Amino acid sequence: MLPIITEDISSEVFSEAFQDVQNWRKNMVKYLKEENPEVNTAILEVAKYDESIDLKAVALGAYLSYRLLEVATENDNLGISEE
């Protein structure tokens, strides 16, 4: 089961990403190449699949989703509950 992504988690990740979107995305590429190269490859392959879509926008959405799930999972593992 996937962890719950709360408003606090969303706010945290969005503020992290949107300070400098291009730099954040580039850092996520580097991070995922080390942390989970299969996911990074899948993101890039999907983004390249259709030439009519914006590769960077697709990748940004996927990296944001990954990071949201990662932070939510970390919070679950630490027993942090916002109920």
* Residue 2 maps to a domain: no
Q: Per the structure, how many domains does the chain have?
A: 1
Work out the pLDDT band at 53, boundaries 50, 70, 90: confident
> If residue 83 lies in a helix (H) or strand (E), which one and from where to where?
none
Cα–Cα distance for residue pair 83/27, rounded to 1 Å: 32
Percentage, residues of the chain above pLDDT 90 = 63
Report pTM: 0.83
* Residue 35 maps to a domain: yes
* Residue 47 maps to a domain: yes
Residue 81 has pLDDT above 60, yes or no: no
Domain containing 11: what range?
7-77
* Residue 83 maps to a domain: no
Cα–Cα distance for residue pair 73/3, rounded to 1 Å: 6
